[in-house]
Structure 1
Amino acid sequence: MNLPLKLAEQSKLFPKKEALIYDDQRLTYGELDASIKKLADGLGKIGILPGDRVLLALENCPEFVISYYAILSAHGIAVPVNPQYTLNELSVIMANALPKTVITTGQLVPLFKSIANEVPIDKGIINVGPTEHTGALPFEKVLDSGSPDYTPGRPARDQIAVLMYTAGSTGSPKGAMLTHYNLYSNATAFAQCCRMIPADRSLLIAPAYHAAAQTCVMNSTLVSGATMFIHEGWNGPGQLLESLQKDKITFYFGPPTMYALLVEHPEIEKYDLTSWRYALTGAAPTPPELFKRFEEKLGFRLMEGYGLTETSPVTTLMPLGGTGKTGSIGLPIPGVEVRIVDYEDREVPVNQIGEIIVRGPNVMRGYYNRPEETNWAMRNGWFHTGDLAYVDSDGYLFIVDRKKDLIIRGGLNIYPKEIEEVLYSHPSVFDAAVIGVPDPIMGEEVLAFVLLREGSNVTPEEIREFCSNKLARYKIPKHIRFVENLPKTTSGKLLKKELQKMI
C-alpha cells in the first residue's frame, strides 16, 4: 500500500464525501482522486518518467495536494520547497535535485526562468493560477490533458517518493530520500495514535512544504478518509479561532508559536471550540507554561511530538489518555524503535543524557547524492539524530538540547552558518557569528554579532537589506550587534557559549 493507492481506496468508500475545502472550493474524494489521476497522466504526456524529480514551490492550496499525490502516482519524486526562498536558496536545491519540471505560481515563474539559465528545466515550468506566462504550461492544461481512468502501477516499497531538503550542520541543504513506505507507514501510525476517523475535520495552516504538515495533517487526514480545511498560511490567531468554530475543526497541528499567540488572544473565551478534540505541537521546544495556559483556556491537553525530516518525520508522540508529563516528547510511535546512546552507541541508563537514535519504517533511505553523510548518519543500522535526550523509568523521552547551533524560529529551522556566510560576503563585514536568542512569541530569534572592517560604517538596516536578496525573510537577523572582537580559541574556533554570555 502507498499514499495514492490508499486515497484511491477512500474515493471508492466515500466518493461523495468532502476531502478538501479551500475558501469556496470543495473537492470530494471522488473528485480529488480523479484530479490526481488526470494530472499524473498529464505529467507523463509532457515527458515525466518514473524517478524524475518534480519541484513543488507552492503555498497551501488544493493544487499542492493534487500535485504531490499525482507525482507519487506517476512514480516521480516530489521535491517540495518553501516558495519564499530566494534565487540563491532555490538555485542550490535545483542544482542538486535537477528537477525535470517545476510546479509553481505565476509570481515565481520569472524566478525559475532565471534559474533555468544555469540549471535546465527540461520539461518546462507549470504555472498554477490565472496569470499567463510565455513559455510556461498552464496547470489546468496539463491536468485536462490526462485521463481520470489513468491506472498507476504499484511502486516498490523502497522506491523514493519525496525528496525533502533539510539544512545540515554545515548549512548546505541535503535531500532526505523518503520512500513510499516511509510516508505511508508514518501517516497511518500517526493517524492511529491520534485516533483519526472519517468524521474528523483537520485544519492545514502549517506549511505543506514541510514534512510535519505533510504527515501530521495532509497525509494522515486523507488516509483516514477525513476532511481537510486548507488555509494558504498563518494570518493570526483570530483567523484560527474563526475557522475552529465555523468549520467545527476536530484536529489541529501547529508549532508552539501559533499556540502561544492563540492563548493570548483577548477574546478566546467568546468562541465555541467544543468540536476541537486534538491539538498537537512540535518542530520546536514548547515552554512548560504554554502547556499550562492552553489547558486552562481550552480545557484539554496540548500534545507534543518529536521527529525530523529524515524520519518522515514523526518518531514519538504523547499518547492520548496517557500520563501527562509536561516537557516530555512522549513515547515512540508503533513500529519505531528509539534508543538513547553514548558516543560509542552504547545504550545509557534511565535518566542519563545521550543521543537519540532511531530505527524503523519511517527512517529515510539516505541523503540524495551524499553517500558519506548517509553512511555516517545511518551507522550501525540506526539513524543518528544529533539531538540529546533522556528517557525516564516509564519510557517517556525528554529532549535536553537540539542539534548543535540550530535555531528554531516559529517552528522553522535556521542554521547559523548559512547566515554567517551571507554576512561574510558584505564588503564592510570582517567577521560574523550568529546565534539564537529566546523570544516569547517565536521561540527563538536570530542575533548576529558583526565585526566590521576598519573604517567601515554600516547600519543594521543596511545589513538586513543586504541579506534580503540572499536569505528567506525568516532567516534575516532580527537583532544585529556590532562588536570589536569575537571570542575564539587559539586555533580560531568560535566560542559560541561565550557569545551567549554577551547577550
Structure 2
Amino acid sequence: MNPNHMLEQVAEERGSEVAIRFTSTNVTYSSFLDAVRRLTRGLYRMGIQRGDRVALMLPNLPQFPIVYYAVLRLGAVIVPINMMYKGREVARLIEDAEVKAIVAWSGAWDDFAHYAAVLNSIKHIIILGDSLPPNSISLTRLIARNNPMMDIADMDDDDPAVLQYSTGITGALKGAELTYGNITSNLVACRDIMRVTPRDTMLAVLPLFHPIGMTLIMNTSLCTGAAMELHPVFDPKIVAEKLKEGASTLFVGVPSIFKILLNHVNMEDGPPEKPIRLCVCGAGAISEDVLKQFEKVFGTYILECYTTNETSPVTSFNQWRTGRRVGSLGHPIPGVEMKIVDEQGNEASIGEVGEIIIKGSNVMKGYINKPRLTEEVLRDGWFHTGDLGKMDINGFFYLVNRKNDRIIKGGFSIYPTEVEGVLYNHPDVEEVAVIGIPDEVMGEEVKACVVLKEGATVTTEQLADYCRERMALYKVPAVIRFYKDLPRTSTGRLDKAELAG
C-alpha cells in the first residue's frame, strides 16, 4: 500500500487543520497535500518514474515530508541522506544507490558539488535555497510552477520504497532496501501502540532522515492527522521549555537526548500542569535512573522500543496492552516475531544471552549490491541483528549488547552497557563509553571513557572505587580516562572504534 492513500484520506477529513508547525509558520493539511501533488507533477515531467531512486538531503524543514511523499506518490524510491555526511560519504552513497535525482539544501551542496560532476547516474539536481548551482532547479519553483497531479501509484507490498543507509563496523556502506509493505505496516503498528490521534501534537526534534524520525515522528503524525511541531535543530534549552509548556502531547527521542534534557531543567521544579502525554525512546537502552528522573521532572511516561535500520525501524515496543518493564525492549509489534538464539542457531533458554533475530512484515528485502552480506544476515526468513539480548519468562526482550562490543576478560564476558549503566549513575558523570582494550595476560581489559559534568572534581580512582562497590571486580575498569567530548560517527552514535584506536 502506498502511504499517500492514508495521507489523502487524512487531508480530506482535516484539510483546514495544522499538519506542520515550523517556527512562526503553520502548514495546513490542504496546503501540504497541494504541495505534494504539485511536486509530484514536476518530478513526473522531469522523467522520474516508478522504481527510480531520488536522494533527499534536507534538514528538518516542511519541504522534507513534501519531497518524501511526492517521490512515493510516483512509486519511486527515497534515499535519505544524513545531513552530517561529508562530500566523499555522500558521493559513495549516491554511486552505490545509482541515484537519478537529488533534492538538497543549498547549505549542504557546496561540500558535495565537485563530486556530483563525476557521478553519471545523477540526471537532475533540485536545490532548496537562494543559491542555485549550475544546471540545477529550484525546489520552490518546481512546486509553484506545476499543476497538482492527482494520481497515486498503486504499489505492491514487496516494491522498494526507501533505501536506508548506514555504515558497518568496517566503515562500508550498507543500503537496506525497505518496501512499501515494510513502511506502511510499521507506521500503522507504531501509530496504534502510541495511540496517536488527530488531537495529538508531535514535538519533532530528531532528524527526519533518521529512520526513527521518518517513521515514529513524520509518518505516524501525517498519516493520522496529528500536528507535527518541527524543529530544525535540537536545542536542549528550547525543547525542555516546550516540554514544560505542555503544548505538545507526544515526544520521540533517543537515550542521549533524554539525559541532555535533564541537564537543562531545575530538578526541584514540580512537573508541568499539562504534561506531555507520552514519550518514546528508541535506538539504544536508556538508563533506568534517567528514565525515572525524566518521568518525574516532566510528569510523563516513557515507552522504550527496539529499532534497527533493517526493520523499518521498529521491531518491539513496551505496550499498553502487555504492560511495561523498565529497561526492556517490550514485546514484538503486530506482524513481527523475535527470538534469542545461541551460536549454533538453537533457541536460547529463558534468561540466556544470545543473538536477537527477527522475522515479519518489517524486515528489509536485503542490502542492495551486497548479496553475500544479505545472505549472512537473512537466513530462512530471519534477520540476524548482531545484537545480544535475552528474554524473560513473561516474554519481555532485553538488549544486552552488540556482539562486537562484548569484552572477554580471562574467559569472562563483560557487556559494556552494564558498566556504563553503573558509571552513568555517578552524580559527576555526564557521558561514558566503555570499550575493550588488548591485555597480554587477560586477553582484554575494560576501559571507561568519561566526560564529567561542568565543575566536577571526582578522580579516576574515586570512580574506580565507585564501580568496585557496585559490580564484580573483574568488570571494574582497569583504565579510566577523562575526555572533553566523546567522538561520534556521522549518524550521531558514539564512535567506539576511534576510542579504541
Q: Smaller-chain TM-score range?
A: 0.7 to 0.9
- Residue in structure 2 matched with residue 260 of structure 1 by the alignment: 259
Higher RCO (C-alpha under 8 Å, 6+ residues apart):
1
Shift of 1:479: 11
Cα distance in 2 between the residues matched to 1:244 and 1:476: 26
Cα distance in 2 between the residues matched to 1:98 and 1:49: 14
Residue 91 (structure 1) aligned with residue 121 (structure 2): no
Q: Which runs of 5+ in 2 are unaligned?
A: 407-415, 421-432, 436-446, 454-484
Percent identity of paired positions between Structure 1 and Structure 2 = 31
Structure 1 counterpart of 2:98, one-letter code: L
* Aligned counterparts, 1:252-331, within 5 A: 252-267=251-266, 269=269, 272=272, 274-320=274-320, 322-331=322-331
Structure 2 counterpart of 1:272, one-letter code: P
- Residue in structure 2 matched with residue 453 of structure 1 by the alignment: none
Cα distance in 2 between the residues matched to 1:440 and 1:204: 29
1:403–1:167: structure 2 CA closer, same or farther, 3 Å change rule? Answer: farther
Secondary structure in structure 2 of the residue aligned to 1:155: coil
Contact 1:244 1:273 in 2 (8 A): no
Shift of 1:312: 0.2
More off after superposition, 294-303 vs 262-271: 262-271
- Residue in structure 2 matched with residue 32 of structure 1 by the alignment: 32
Contact 1:47 1:123 in 2 (8 A): no
Alignment root-mean-square deviation, CA: 2.9
* Aligned counterparts, 1:37-436, within 5 A: 37-236=37-236, 238-246=237-245, 248-267=247-266, 269=269, 272=272, 274-320=274-320, 322-405=322-405
Cα distance in 2 between the residues matched to 1:290 and 1:154: 45
Structure 2 counterpart of 1:143, one-letter code: I
Cα distance in 1 between the residues matched to 2:156 and 2:42: 22
Shift of 1:77: 0.8
Structure 2 counterpart of 1:128, one-letter code: L
1:178–1:50: structure 2 CA closer, same or farther, 3 Å change rule? Answer: same
Secondary structure in structure 2 of the residue aligned to 1:343: coil
Cα distance in 2 between the residues matched to 1:47 and 1:100: 10
TM-score (norm 2): 0.80
Contact 1:102 1:121 in 2 (8 A): no
Cα distance in 1 between the residues matched to 2:7 and 2:247: 23
Shift of 1:43: 0.7
Contact 1:46 1:123 in 2 (8 A): no
Structure 1 counterpart of 2:243, one-letter code: L
Cα distance in 2 between the residues matched to 1:60 and 1:132: 20
1:438–1:178: structure 2 CA closer, same or farther, 3 Å change rule? Answer: farther
Contact 2:275 2:299 in 1 (8 A): no
Shift of 1:298: 2.7
Cα distance in 2 between the residues matched to 1:477 and 1:359: 29
1:436–1:194: structure 2 CA closer, same or farther, 3 Å change rule? Answer: farther
* Aligned counterparts, 1:437-448, within 5 A: 437=449
- Residue in structure 2 matched with residue 429 of structure 1 by the alignment: none
Shift of 1:271: 7.4
Contact 1:59 1:232 in 2 (8 A): yes
Shift of 1:392: 0.5
- Residue in structure 1 matched with residue 17 of structure 2 by the alignment: 17
More off after superposition, 218-227 vs 116-125: 116-125
1:90-115 Cα deviation digits (max 9, x unpaired): 12111101211111111223333211
Contact 2:244 2:298 in 1 (8 A): no
Structure 2 counterpart of 1:127, one-letter code: I
Contact 2:40 2:71 in 1 (8 A): yes
Q: Which runs of 5+ in 1 are unaligned?
A: 417-434, 442-463, 482-495
Secondary structure in structure 2 of the residue aligned to 1:111: coil
Structure 2 counterpart of 1:399, one-letter code: L
Contact 1:190 1:220 in 2 (8 A): yes
- Residue in structure 1 matched with residue 475 of structure 2 by the alignment: none
1:265–1:180: structure 2 CA closer, same or farther, 3 Å change rule? Answer: same
Contact 2:163 2:176 in 1 (8 A): yes
Contact 1:48 1:123 in 2 (8 A): no
1:155-199 Cα deviation digits (max 9, x unpaired): 121110110001123220110001111001000100101111110
